[in-house]
Amino acid sequence: MSEKNKIGAKVKLVRENRKLSIEDVSERTNLPAEQIKSIEDGSLVPNLTPLIKIARVLGVRLGTFMDDDENLGPVVTKAQDKKEVTRFSDRGNAVNSDLDFYTLAQNKAGRHMDPFIIDIFPSSEEEIKLSTHEGEEFIYVLEGEVEIIYGKDKYELKQGDSIYYESIVAHHVHSHGNEKAKILAVVYTPA
């Protein structure tokens, strides 16, 4: 199953388990029903904003859509085990991925933070869609350079730099320049 279909299939499974229609979720998230349908059938590479809104309405963490098994004790992720990638777009409605997410601690049950290693690919598109959702984010640049738009401000970060911010403020993270960047991102979304 492709990464697009894996996330969509989980969204659909959770939605159906909650006995909600696509229209119910659409109404509660203020997302178009067609967008939710496209996420579920895997024809759309979603960005995080709609997935966070859907997760909140369904009463689950964002990571639920990427998790496999869950463990109540400590979870260790070895470098060689970090093989599964989930792809997202950093644009509104895209069919291609700009962001490759490697989930860390995906098997940890009951967590409140979602840690990721993210490869950010340069985008030739001028369209930037700001994201806003409840919670907080921490970003540490492992490789390359990133630009973060936060409200009306812009921050350029290089390898070794970090930023911590409230994610309720409109924001966007993208590679700066023509090179791929790699970040460690920890996203906290209140339950």
Q: Which domains does the chain have, with CATH numbers?
A: 3-65 (1.10.260.40), 79-188 (2.60.120.10)
Q: Which residue has the higher pLDDT, 73 or 90?
A: 73
Return d(Cα 82, Cα 117) in angstroms, integer. 9
Average pLDDT over residues 161-187: 94
Chain centre to alpha carbon of residue 37: 18
Q: Torsion angle, CA of 146/92/118/10, rounded to 10 degrees?
A: 170
pLDDT at 72 over 60: no
What is residue 7's predicted lDDT score, i.e. its pLDDT? Answer: 85
This prediction's pTM? 0.67
pLDDT more than 90, % of the chain: 43
